[in-house]
Chain A
Amino acid sequence: MPLTHRGREILSRVPGGTLQSTVGVGCEIVRHEELCVGCGKCATNCPSGASERGAFFDVNQLLDAPADSRRGALGGALRRLMRHEPDGPVEVPERVTVYRTIIYDDERCLGCGTCVRGCPAEAIEARPPQADAAPEPAPVEVRA
């Protein structure tokens, strides 16, 4: 996932151009959906509205969840019953709050890492941006 344009823009105002080994603006946000517990804290905490709770739930999140988790137990039960692979995301009734897939929009993401700090399931990862900052042209080695 590339650094967002807003991330790049913010990063260009940081002295030195990089933020090293700290969670800060301009980070690359990587979500591990199979670890997500659907609490929605990332959506509540997100300052830019890049994460939000959707109206659908991807059934594969249950099937891929770690076996020792609550979602994994549900996925294990479902796996014993299923006749075929899930058809696709299911629409979630209004009062079911936890089993929702978070919609993450990386165009609106600032890369601030607030969602990472708030995530109780450690399902979101923030990677420091320097690896992805605008690639400099490789110095041409001139041989004498």
Chain B
Amino acid sequence: MAADRKIVAFCCRECAYAAADASANARTPLPPTVRLVLMPCTGRVSPLHLLSALAGGADGVMVAGCLLGQCHYREGNFNAVDRVAFVQRLLRSVGVEPERCQMFTMSAGEPPKFVAAVREMDRVIGGLPPLPRSEADGSRAAPLAAGAPRAAARGAA
């Protein structure tokens, strides 16, 4: 039952992934629901990563990066914070719980903080109703029809 849900954790190589590594070396058990994805920096995470993970089967996505102000690339995690906030607003506007996408920060020397973040995320997602993951519905214009104005514009020129 617990293994039913999936959480994708996008981890910064410089801190969160190192913290995950250290927690694994210390044999601290992580919830079996989490899947780690190594990122060079959380600044690489785009809204497309987060939303396609959710649409593709994840019940929650988390972004784990460095402490604010301690990004290896200076301000990558500030970008990530804003993108996560943007995705949360997108989700809220279409009626999906914004808690499904969250950002956590920690340093490489804080494996317990990483484990706590993952457990917290697992607990929050476990309390939410399942996502209504539908096949793309036909309520919107078909892809070709949506591209039609471009073709029309070319034809007119």
Q: Which residues of A contact B1 (CB under 8 A)?
A: none
A122 to B136, CA, bound (A): 26
Residues from chain A with a CB closer than 8 A to the CB of B150 are: 32, 35, 66, 122-123
A77 at the B interface (CB under 8 A) = yes
Distance between Cα atoms of A34 and B141 in the complex (Å): 11
Chain B contact residue count (CB 8 A cutoff): 39
A108 at the interface (CB under 8 A from B): no
List, in ascending order, chain B residues with CB within 8 A of A83's CB.
94-96, 132
User: Across the interface, do B90 and A96 meet the contact criterion of CB distance under 8 Å?
Assistant: no
Judging by beta carbons under 8 Å apart, are A88 and B93 in contact?
yes
B 126-149 binary contact with A (CB < 8 Å = 1; else 0): 000001111111001101001101
**Complex: how many Å from CA A73 to CA B82?**
20
Q: Is B113 an interface residue (CB 8 A)?
A: no
B156 within 8 A of A: yes
CB contacts (< 8 Å) of A122 on chain B: these are 150, 153-154
- How close is A43's CB to chain B, nearest CB, in angstroms? 19
Specify which chain A residues have a CB less than 8 angstroms from the CB of B2 in the assembled complex: none
Which of A81-118 touch B at CB < 8 Å? Answer: 81-88, 90-96, 99
Indicate if the CB atoms of B133 and A81 lie closer than 8 Å: yes
Of the A-B pairs whose beta carbons lie under 8 Å apart in the complex, a sample of 24, sorted by A's number, is A32-B149, A32-B150, A35-B149, A62-B90, A66-B143, A66-B150, A68-B143, A68-B147, A70-B48, A77-B51, A78-B55, A80-B136, A81-B91, A83-B95, A83-B96, A85-B94, A87-B93, A90-B89, A90-B90, A93-B85, A96-B82, A99-B47, A99-B86, A123-B150
The 9 closest A-B pairs by CB, nearest first: A83-B95, A67-B143, A82-B94, A93-B82, A77-B55, A95-B82, A77-B51, A66-B147, A90-B89
Known: A77-B55, A79-B140, A96-B47. 20 other contacts (CB 8 A): A34-B146, A35-B150, A59-B90, A59-B93, A65-B146, A72-B146, A73-B48, A74-B48, A77-B48, A77-B52, A78-B55, A80-B135, A80-B136, A81-B132, A83-B96, A84-B94, A86-B94, A96-B86, A125-B153, A125-B156
Q: Which residues of B contact A (CB under 8 A)?
A: 47-48, 51-52, 54-56, 78-79, 81-83, 85-86, 89-96, 131-137, 140-141, 143, 146-147, 149-150, 153-154, 156
